Amino acid sequence: MEGVVESREWYLAAYSTHGVPTSDHLKLRTVPLSLAFDSIPDGHVAVETLFLSVDPYLRTRLTGTLDGLYIQQYQLNQVITAFAVGRVMQSKDSKYTEGDFILIPSAPVAEYSIVPSSQILRKIDATSGISLPDYLSSLGVPGFAAWVGIVVLRDPKPGSNVFISAASGAVGMSAGQLAKIRGCRVIGSTGSDEKVFLHFLFKKRPFIVI
């Protein structure tokens, strides 16, 4: 059928009540999806997923436990969702056109999807010189959380000591970078020697990590 693609998607097959989710809990399937203009509802866009952010909070949505959560659990057999950068393939919303790069806070973890345009956070200027993955990291939720912690709440002065726990995580790495830029002496902690190695391998401004 014209305009139909085979889209791979990750869905929740069983709740993971303890430990790390495995292939028993998260499974991959392939489904046919029409990207033809006439098959898209009004106010929706067809999206090709380019980048996804796999954030720690997603783990809490896989347990089947609601106690103390601020966000709903995934339903069994439901495609999981995550922050994503995508490219518009077709659009039935005048604000978006084919080829637009967009940021979606709750995008299906799938190669292609049809999403309501109301779920799109913003368009991305691809000519800005900012790489698309940066909108999910330093300019995304991890970077925002780090900015709030370092700049808004603590406001450390040059020469002061700053300790970063979970320094190899997305928020910890960004927080340490912000403190280094401010002229602080930064010390971080991680859970393994491997995480220490990765920190020094990828960061432009590495700080002391133990």
Q: Mean pLDDT of all residues in the chain? A: 90
Locate tokens 């790069």: which residue?
Answer: 101
**Secondary structure (3-state) at 49:** strand
pTM of the full predicted structure?
0.84
Instruction: Give the residue-averaged pLDDT of 74-82.
Output: 95
Q: How far apart are CA 133 and CA 86, in angstroms?
A: 11
Residue 175: DSSP 8-state: H
Predicted confidence at residue 169, as pLDDT, reads 84
Given this model, what pLDDT does residue 52 score? Answer: 96
Assess whether pLDDT exceeds 80 at residue 205: no
Lowest mean pLDDT among 74-78, 114-118, 189-193, 200-204: 200-204
CA 162 → CA 6, 151, 157, 165, 178, distances in Å?
Answer: 49, 12, 10, 10, 10
Mean local confidence (pLDDT), 33-56:
94
Query: Which tokens in the block code for residue 177?
Result: 């970078």
pLDDT attached to residue 168 = 81
The answer to whether the beta carbons of residues 102 and 47 sit under 8 Å apart is yes
C-beta of residue 83 within 8 angstroms of C-beta of residue 55: yes
| Nearest-angstrom CA–CA distance, 141 and 53 | 9
Pairing of strands 4-12, 26-34: antiparallel
Give pLDDT, residue 159: 94
pLDDT at 210 over 70: no
